[in-house]
Structure 1
Amino acid sequence: MNDDNTFRSFGKVFEEAYPVVCLPITANDEGIDNGVYFNNLCNKLNDLPFIKGSGNKFGKVLFYLTKIEGNETLENKGIARIQDEMIECEKRIVAEMMSKHLLTHDHYLIKDGSIQYKPMKTGDYKELARIRNNYRHVVGVSKRFNPNLMKDNKNQSSAGQIAKLPLFHRTPAFMWKPGEEWGNVNFAIWYVRIRDRRYTTTPYSGILKIEKMLMTGKEAENGLESDEIDMITANIINERNPVCYGNDARWANHLYPVYMTECYCKSRFKSDISFINLF
């Protein structure tokens, strides 16, 4: 942030991308440690001539448990395991940026989606309380959200208040306390309208949910200062244009730099056909 209270880009790109394969844990029929087995399997895959010849290299072979509960499917369990790997990758990048002093009061990071990470059983960043300081200058911005989760002082849903927000107005910030099982990390959450209701199709089109982890004991007790909330909100509003009319059904909820980053990341993906043809 500079004298005019606007954030500036630091012009650096951190990218961590690698193909993975996710298999059921029953693929390990040798009775050895799962970490060792699937790491060795990854090495064997990368040594195959047709993998080498394609110029590709697998970063990891992941595994998931095959016990099914409720409406779970094996496919969804595999997808969830890959998503967990993506979250760990995300946390590593934030930690690296923090270690290089790239996240400061002048340079905030917008995280596309929630920063309310679910508890992890494994990984270097499984305990949110221990990595909380990395997120001192990180803001989570969600295009989709459940408006009924937030309650007012009378314990009534704030959904109506959120839907009726005038253009460029925000709600008060709510204190969100997920509880001990989430590492006793509290959040400030508020909503802001970045598109005029006249040009949107649903009550919540054009509204963003904004999250900020609370760092100090004072913040955890009293919440964020209004000045900081207003500063973050104003900068979010400044990032709304230009938009992507016609290119995405969620255009009204897009921030332009987030949209462009999504497009860049998707352009780096291999198509389903290309990936399957590796085998």
Structure 2
Amino acid sequence: MMQRLNFLEPVLSLLGNNLDVLPAVGGAVEDLLQPDIDELEDMLINAESREVTEFLETPAPNSRDIYRPTPPIFRAQKHLYRYFIDGSLRSYYLATGVEGNRSFPIELAQIGAAVMERDDQGRVRPLARRQRILLLLPKGQLGVSDTLWRQIKQLDIPDGSFEVIDTTERNVNTPQEPTPESLRTRAGGIARNRMHRLEIEMIGDTDGLRNKDAWLILDGAVKLDQFIKTPHMIGVAKNFRKDPEFRFGRGAGKRLDITKILAGLPYASRTVAFSAHGGQVAFWYVRLREQKEVDYPLMGVVKVELPRPDRTPVDAELADLISQTLVAERNVTPYGRDNRWHCHLYPIFQAEQAIKNGFYSRDVLMGMIRWPKLQFAPSDIP
């Protein structure tokens, strides 16, 4: 394991010999994820979908009747979900780099994704797993010079296991113009973006295995930088934006917010399917748990997304089947091990654990992070 991390030495040496480096206390400081990061991400990815005005289900729903009962169909009756994909990451602040009159954070991230396969007996095993290490720092006017950047990029490993990433990059997770103050936050967003790209890459490991009787569940949205058009797949979000407005009826006069909709959603039921992204995604909400089992009405509910690349409405019977088999997934939970237990699907939880178990420990990473020298001490700063 230590030998595999030797690729850090050349890049840290190159940075240390060309920059003034102020290492973090203790070698690195782990960045803690915001508790609502998934909800914030849903707001970024689905920024165009705050106002919902159309259904995407056939037969066309009645705006005065938006709930459908979906009693559970258990695995013994119908084993629909056989593949599960999730990703995970850890990020660390390593140092502040100084070049000329520019100072900027240098961060390290471990990202990973796993596909889990479940057999008819309910046994879950990893089908495939991939991990990457990213070094994140800015280039150009907010970071290192173009000359140094070209030298750094030559140290990328061709198989993608190690890559240097520019934190001024703009993507769906970091859409704003970069500023010196936002660079550290942007590093986390870019690491999450790369993690999601890895999750999408893992979908290919299920090609030829998925069919109408063997579906894949992807943790989160079915859109990142582009739409995922994979058949026999749904995205299931544990946390989702709480600010959409739903307007239906003649002249879109009937207005509901998501809190009202979910507060009225009975246990083992779904909402009708709504349209997002111009009909390219159908989405709806499913209640996995009785409201009396949880602390407030929005707990115990998941958001389901189904790709509709041809922009056609989803058949109500298919949406029912997807939801009924999903409700049955509630019966095993990571209660006591994850505070999202009320809406967590256990095979997704197992995928997350499989990834984290493969990450390098902080002690191993810190053993490999050795800057050549401290160019100047903090007391030398005028």
**Whole-Å Cα distance in 1 between the matches of residues 262 and 281 of structure 2?**
18
Q: Name the residue aligned to 1:123.
A: none
- Residues 38, 85 of structure 1: alpha-carbon distance in 2 compared, 3 angstrom cutoff: farther
- Residues 241, 37 of structure 1: alpha-carbon distance in 2 compared, 3 angstrom cutoff: farther
Q: Name the residue aligned to 1:269.
A: 359
**Whole-Å Cα distance in 1 between the matches of residues 134 and 179 of structure 2?**
27
The offset of 1:252, in angstroms, is: 0.8
**Whole-Å Cα distance in 2 between the matches of residues 136 and 42 of structure 1?**
34
Q: Per the alignment, in what secondary structure is the counterpart of residue 146 of structure 1?
A: coil
- Residues 276, 24 of structure 1: alpha-carbon distance in 2 compared, 3 angstrom cutoff: farther
Report whether the alignment pairs 1:204 with 2:204. Answer: no
The offset of 1:162, in angstroms, is: 1.1
Q: Per the alignment, in what secondary structure is the counterpart of residue 14 of structure 1?
A: strand
Q: 1:83 aligns with which of 159, 182, 192?
A: 192
Q: Name the residue aligned to 1:159.
A: 259
Q: 1:9 aligns with which of 77, 82, 86?
A: 82
Note the residue ranges of structure 1 that are not aligned, 5 or more in a row. 44-56, 120-126, 180-184
Q: Name the residue aligned to 1:239.
A: 329
Does the 8 Å contact 2:139/2:146 carry over to 1? no
The structure whose residues are more often strand, as a share, is 2
CA deviations over 1:75-101 (Å, ceiling 9, x no partner): 111122222221221222113432xx1
Task: Calculate percent identity across the aligned residue pairs.
Answer: 23
Q: Name the residue aligned to 1:115.
A: 222
- Residues 3, 204 of structure 1: alpha-carbon distance in 2 compared, 3 angstrom cutoff: closer
Report whether the alignment pairs 1:188 with 2:316. Answer: no
Q: Name the residue aligned to 1:63.
A: 166
Letter in 2 for 1:74: L
Letter in 2 for 1:261: A
Note the residue ranges of structure 2 that are not aligned, 5 or more in a row. 1-72, 84-116, 118-125, 170-175, 249-253, 370-382
Does the 8 Å contact 2:222/2:305 carry over to 1? yes
Report whether the alignment pairs 1:29 with 2:145. Answer: yes
The offset of 1:68, in angstroms, is: 5.9
Does the 8 Å contact 1:147/1:162 carry over to 2? no
Letter in 2 for 1:92: E
Summarize the alignment of residues 213-232 of structure 1 with structure 2, pairs less than 5 Å apart. 213-217=307-311, 219=312, 223-232=313-322
Q: Name the residue aligned to 2:134.
A: 20
**Whole-Å Cα distance in 2 between the matches of residues 103 and 38 of structure 1?**
41
Letter in 1 for 2:322: I
Does the 8 Å contact 1:242/1:256 carry over to 2? yes
Letter in 2 for 1:156: L
Letter in 1 for 2:321: M
TM-score (structure 2 length as normaliser):
0.56
Q: What CA RMSD, in Å, does the superposition of the two structures yield over aligned residues?
A: 2.9
The structure whose residues are more often helix, as a share, is 1
